Every structure is written in C-alpha cells, then in structure tokens.
Chains A and B, each alone.
Chain A
Amino acid sequence: MLEHLELFFKSIFIDNMVFAVFLGMCSYLAVSKKVSTAVGLGAAVIFVLAVTVPLNWLLDQYLLREGALVWLGPEYADYNLSFLSFILFIATIATMVQLVEIVVEKFSPSLYNSLGIFLPLIAVNCAILGGSLFMQAREIPSLGLALNYGVSSGIGWFLAILAIAAIREKIRYSNVPPPLRGLGITFIITGLMGIGFQSFGGMLTGDNEPPEDEQTPTTVKQVEEKELINKEIEDEEKAVSYNEVIKE
C-alpha cells in the first residue's frame, strides 16, 4: 500500500512528465491555448497511459526481458528480446489508440466528440511512449504498480497542461515584450513552473540507497565481482533517474 502511495506522489509531483523529463512537450505547447481543450487532451492522455502502460508491462515481463520466455520451456531461458521493445511498444500504443477510438465512438458519441480529435494525436505523443519506456527502465515490479504508474504520470501531465492553459488564458492581458509573445513566454513560464515543482523533490529522499550487503567478500575475485555489481547498480540508477545524473 505504502509503495503504491509513494509511486503515486512521486510520478505526479517529483518525476512530473512535463517538468522533470519534458515528455509530451509538443502537444503540451500546441494544445494549451484554451483550458477546455487542454482538459480534453489531458483526460485522453490519462486514459491512454492507464491502458498502455500495464499492457506494455505484460509484454515486457512475458516476452521481452532477458529470460522472459522461460514459460515456453527451459530452453528459452537465455533469450533476450529487449532490443525489440521500441517497435513492440509503439505498435501496442498505435493499436490501442485506434481501438480506443473505435470503442469510444461506438459507445459514447458525446465523449468521442470531446476526446475524438485528440486521440489520433496521442499515438505520437512522447508522454505515452515515454511512460512505457520509463516503466521498463525503472523495472516496476508488479502489474498493479504499472497501472498506478500509468495513471499517476497521466495525472501529472494533466495537471501541467491545465496549469499552463490557465496561465496562458490570463497572460493575454499582460504586457509581454512582443518578441516573447506566444511561444517564448510559454517556454519561460514552463521553466519557472518546473523550478517550483523541483521543490517537491525533497519529499521522498533518504530511502533511495541500495541496501548494504551484509556478507564480507573473502577472495579478491569476489571483491571485484561485488564492485562490478555495485558499479552496475550505480549505472542503472544513473539511467533511471535523470535528475540524479545532472546533479552529479
């Protein structure tokens, strides 16, 4: 339960899709002129992330990662298909978006009218593919957590686009220097909001250390192996958290 709560807050505030990793910036900038359209796109992003991240988690778990094919028989234990993940993830996303579009059109024409025009855009929204790729890179352990991750990072994106759309509606009445109008000022405001969101980073620090290994290594070879493993852990951490990389 606690890990669910932690992941939920972490994905919304600390690793916010827009402010921390710049995902989905294209549609974020293009569709944030009005609050109503921003809400529509945001809702569609939450929905599609909630569907595709768990689906891609299953793909990753039972098809792609090293040893994932072991359910076919012990001779498949050495297969590592993870180089195929880009193409499979994007195919899943494109298919799901089409499917969702058809289903929504059939069963809820009113929802289709409000979401409809955004759905095709979403297949090429970096936030969706990014959600699946980060899910894979962070090695999210269970299907429930993957669903949680999809929904909460979607909510984070929704909050971001809602906030910027509201600000852009108001800023029309301000005296912005002409060359900055429109795109320029939006970038700068997003930057300032990102700095604000950085302050959430202090919320969950302190438990990111890997647990200490109790066993004392006896031979030189073991020591070397341990160092190698530690180095790998460090490398993975680097890859996982962009924030940590740049602080170093």
Chain B
Amino acid sequence: MALLSKKDANLILDPLADNNPITIQVLGICSALAITAELKASLVMSISVIFVMGVGNVVISLLRNVIPSKIRIIAQLIVVATLVIVVDQVLKAFAYELSKTLSVFVGLIITNCIIMGRFEAFALGNGVWRSILDGIGNALWYGVILEKIGLFRELFGSGTLFGIPVLGDPIAKTGLYATGYENNGFMIIPPAALIVVGIIIWVQRSRNRALIEEA
C-alpha cells in the first residue's frame, strides 16, 4: 500500500470488519440475501455492486457542487439507475443464464441502501480519489460477506462450489456421502440466508465485544 497514504488505506480497510456495510451499518441487505443460494450468483452480484459503487461515487463526487441539495435524492437515483442499466445490459449480453437467475435483483441494486448511503455520507462531501477508495472499499467488503453467505449455503445446501461438486456425488453415494452425509435442503430456502447472516453477526460480535448493542 505504498501507493496510498495511511488515511486513504483506512478508507478501504475500515469496512472490512469494524464498519462492515452489512453486519454493522445494516445497509444493502435487500438484494444481498436473495441471490446467495449459489456462489456464482453472489460473485456476479458483488462485482456489479463494486462497479456501480465505484463509478457512482466518482460521478456524484464530481457533481457534488452542482446538485442542488433539495433534489439530490432524485439526482442520485438517476445516476445509479443509469449505471445499473449498463450492468443489466452487459449481463444479458454475456451471461444470459445468470441474468435470468438474478432476475429483478439486478434492478434492485438501484435501491440498495449501501449505494445511496455512501453517496449521502461520503461522495457528497469528499473529493474524487477518496470517493473511489471509499466506494470500492465498501462494495468489496460487502461482496466478501455475500460470498461468505453464498459459500455456506451452497456447500451445505447442494454440496457444490461454483456448481462443481466438492463433497462427492449424492446419488451414487461417493465421497463424503458414502459415510451417510446428506445435503441440508434447509440451506437452500430463502430464510436460511437470514439465519446465516445472524450467525455471522454473532461470531463477529463475540470476537469484537465493542460492537455489542445495548439492548
């Protein structure tokens, strides 16, 4: 990180744990949970969010002195919507099957609170370079949580990673299945995502007691 000063590096590293968008700020849950049944979909989703977030932060940061504060929400929504249309068209052109699986959740990146949240909290008040770092940092660690959830759900739910069987064949009973192991269908259904996130939060807060909420 010789390229970055310490302060700038913190912009990227902060959202890793102590200020994670999902587990601490509780932003961007909406589109995060629905697509994490497969690792591949989670990965594509994170890449899309990193793109939208990085470019969006730059645009908003450049326009921050031009946008009147009364209509800034609409201006921000238009910027995000335009970027998401780009992502959607690219996915439809190069990964059609995947774009079918993600269906409306690509569009829902627009209302992903993490993006609006970072625009409001950071890009409107900071320069371009710092905004890029902040955008990429937040989206990156957002994506890491997404992949963690996707990893657990796909591994325990279908016994595969990126669609490749890693635990053996459940029908021919090879590998781990020979010992009587079964796939846990529970991990595939939507509510399991919530419980996995709950457990991730539990583990994280047990390790860093400062994050515990006063109930």
The 8 A CB mask of A230-248 against B (1 = contact, 0 = none) is 0000010011101101110
> Nearest chain-B residue to A85 (Cβ)?
B107
Chain B residues contacting A129 (CB-CB under 8 Å) are 107-108, 110-111
Residues of B within 8 A of A (CB): 23, 26-34, 37, 73-74, 77-78, 81-82, 84-85, 88-89, 100-101, 103-104, 107-108, 110-113, 116, 188-195, 197-199, 201-206, 209, 212-215
| Interface flag for A124 (CB, 8 Å) | yes
Q: Are B215 and A238 in contact (CB under 8 A)?
A: no
Q: Are B205 and A26 in contact (CB under 8 A)?
A: no
Q: Are B191 and A246 in contact (CB under 8 A)?
A: no
Q: Are B215 and A134 in contact (CB under 8 A)?
A: no
4 nearest CB pairs, A to B:
A194-B191, A182-B213, A191-B194, A187-B198
**With contact pairs A123-B77, A187-B197, A194-B191 given, residues A86 and B84 touching in the complex (Cβ less than 8 Å):** yes
A contact residues, range:
35 or more
Chain B residues contacting A191 (CB-CB under 8 Å) are 191-195, 198
- A28 to chain B minimum Cβ distance, whole angstroms, is 8
| Interface flag for A35 (CB, 8 Å) | no
Chain B residues contacting A240 (CB-CB under 8 Å) are 103
Q: Complex formed: what's the CA distance from A198 to B194 in Å?
A: 14
Name the contact of A190 in the complex, choosing from B28, B110, B194 (C-beta under 8 A).
Answer: B194
| Interface flag for A166 (CB, 8 Å) | no
Chain A residues contacting B100 (CB-CB under 8 Å) are 235, 238-239
Of A20, A23, A30, A172, the most chain B CB neighbours within 10 A belong to: A23
Q: Please, could you name 6 A-B residue pairs with CB atoms under 8 Å apart, sorted by A?
A: A22-B30, A29-B29, A83-B89, A87-B82, A124-B116, A179-B209
Q: Are A183 and B26 in contact (CB under 8 A)?
A: yes
